[in-house]
Amino acid sequence: MTGQPSQGFSTDNNHGSQEPPSLKSQRAAKKKNVSRRGTAFTKEEDLVVCSAFLNISKDPITGVNQTSGGYYKRMHDYFNEHKPEGSNRSQIAIQHRWALIQKAMNKFCGHKAAIDRLNESGKNEQDRIDDAVKMYEKTEPFTIMHCWRKLCNEAKWSNKFLELNNSASLDGMSSPPTQGHAESGNQNTDTSRPEGRDSAKRPVEVLQRLQEKSEKTEQMQDQQMVEILSRKDEKIKIQRDLFNLQKKHMKMSVQQKKKENAIREKESEAHLISAESSIMSIDIEKVPPYLKNYYLGMQRQIMERRGFSGPSNNED
């Protein structure tokens, strides 16, 4: 019949170009699995990742049977609770970003420790930080100063730094893939292996060695303090002996001065007696008339000073 399409044919001109549903779903799934490079982490996101590390605890002994994915899941949960507005990061992205931060932090802290050991005079803390940055950037740019400033004074990072430098099998020390691969992974997929019992015990052994070293240091400090106090006691004794010697010397000096004064007084008295004897031995009758009254007066004073009555002043 005219005006009606034949059975089994479609009036849609695009029917011949349509693909079977199964092929379309396969291509869509393939397109969905294509890795896409994510945007770089911002400083605000980095700081939240660092805060997640500081706030999420992980005991390597009790957590032996727990995969590291559980630890990073808690970090990811913390990140989602505190992330900046507009941020959307997967668990794998957080895991690998933290691994990158750890690696860079460990390298920079090593340079900073080497600079501190030089203890160059005339340089302050900021100068030493600048020198460490220059040393780091001889091989690559240092882009996580904001992370270092947040973690450098944290005791938990100090412990982690010791672990990273004393154990080659701790979490986060394997070379992390690029950020693009991190973003493309499944959030629930955990490619990390759980820590072994031996590797879990290594941080404890490190802490034990540090404890032993700390005890030895305290013993040395105690011994040094005893020596210092002993030296102080010896110094005090020397000062006391010196003071007593000076006191004795002063006493002897005073006595010597008294003796010298007594001798001078006796010498003066002897001179006075000699002078008085000369005056008293003068024959008044033989002196000139104008000196007669002078010698009579002198003789009278001498007699009175000696407790005798003076001679009469009668003239012949």
Of 218, 178, 212, which is closest to residue 40 (Cα–Cα)? 178
CA–CA dist 1, 300 (Å, integer): 190
Q: The tokens 């000096």 sit on which residue?
A: 253
pLDDT of residue 199: 52
Tell me which amino acid residue 40 is: A
Q: What is the pLDDT of residue 57?
A: 62
What is the rounded end-to-end Cα distance, in angstroms, of the chain?
207
- What local confidence, expressed as pLDDT, does residue 1 receive? 43
d(CA 215, CA 204): 16
Task: Provide the whole-model pTM.
Answer: 0.42
Please choose, from the candidates 62, 89, 86, 63, the residue with its C-alpha nearest in 3D space to the C-alpha of residue 78: 89
Residue of 94, 47, 103, 96 lying closest to 75 (CA atoms): 94
Provide the pLDDT for residue 76: 93
10-residue averages of pLDDT along the chain (316 residues): 44 48 56 58 94 75 56 91 92 93 92 89 91 94 94 84 64 42 40 48 70 81 84 86 89 89 90 87 85 86 81 50
